[in-house]
Amino acid sequence: MRCPFPSSPLLVLVAALLCCGGAGAGELNPYGGMIVPPIDWSSLPKPAKTGDIKDELKHPQTKEFITRYRLFVPATLPEKRHLALLICFHGRTGNENGPSEMMYHTIKGLGLESEYIVLGLKSHDVGWEDADEADVLKAYDWVTSVYPIDRRRVYLIGHSSGAYWDTRFGGKHQDLFAGVMRWAGGTVHPLGGKDAAEQMEFYLVHGTKDDQNPVSGSREARDNLKREHCRYVYREILTGDHGSILGVEPVRKDMVWWMESLRHKQMPLVQEDEKFLRSFASARQAAKLLVTPEAWNEILRIGGPQAGQVVAEAMKSDNAKIRELAALACTKGRFAGEDTAAALARLLDDKSATVRTTAIDALGVQANWRSETAQLALGALALSTRKKTELSDRGEAASQLAKAAALPLLGNVDDDMPIWQALTTAMNDEHKELRETAFAPLKVAVPDGLGYDPELTAVERAAGIAKWQA
Q: Tell me what pLDDT residue 192 has.
A: 58
- Predicted TM-score (pTM) of the model is 0.93
Which residues of the chain are in CATH 3.40.50.1820 domains?
47-261
Residue 33 above 60 pLDDT? yes
- How do residues 94-142 score in pLDDT, each as one tens digit? 999 999 999 999 999 999 999 999 999 999 999 999 999 999 999 999 9
Dump pLDDT digits (tens) for 188-224: 876 555 466 678 999 999 999 999 999 999 999 999 9
Q: How many Cβ atoms from other residues are within 10 Å of residue 207's Cβ?
A: 27
Considering the chain, tell me which residue range(s) the CATH 1.25.10.10 domain(s) occupy: 271-469
pLDDT (tens digit per residue) in 224-247: 999 888 999 999 999 999 999 999
CATH class of 271-469: mainly alpha
Amino acid 330: pLDDT: 98
Dihedral over Cα of 317, 323, 327, 333: its sign: negative
Mean pLDDT calculated for residue range 8-36: 57
pLDDT band at residue 26 under the 50/70/90 scheme: low
Distance CA 469, CA 74 (A): 49
Q: Rounded mean pLDDT of the chain?
A: 92
pLDDT of residue 386: 94
Q: What is the pLDDT of residues 414-470, one digit of tens each?
A: 999 999 999 999 999 999 999 999 999 999 989 899 999 999 999 999 999 999 998
The whole-number pLDDT of residue 22 equals 41
The pLDDT tens digits of the residues spanning 335-364 come to: 999 999 999 999 999 999 999 999 999 999
16 pLDDT above the threshold of 90: no
* pLDDT per position as a tens digit, 174-196: 999 999 999 999 998 765 554 66
Average pLDDT, integer, range 251-265: 98
Q: What CATH code would you report for 47-261?
A: 3.40.50.1820
pLDDT tens column, 392-417: 999 999 999 999 999 999 999 999 99
What's residue 207's pLDDT?
98
Exposed, middle or buried, 432 (CB in 10 Å: 0-12/13-18/19+)? exposed
- In the chain, % of residues over pLDDT 70: 93
pLDDT, position 190: 64
pLDDT of residue 199: 83
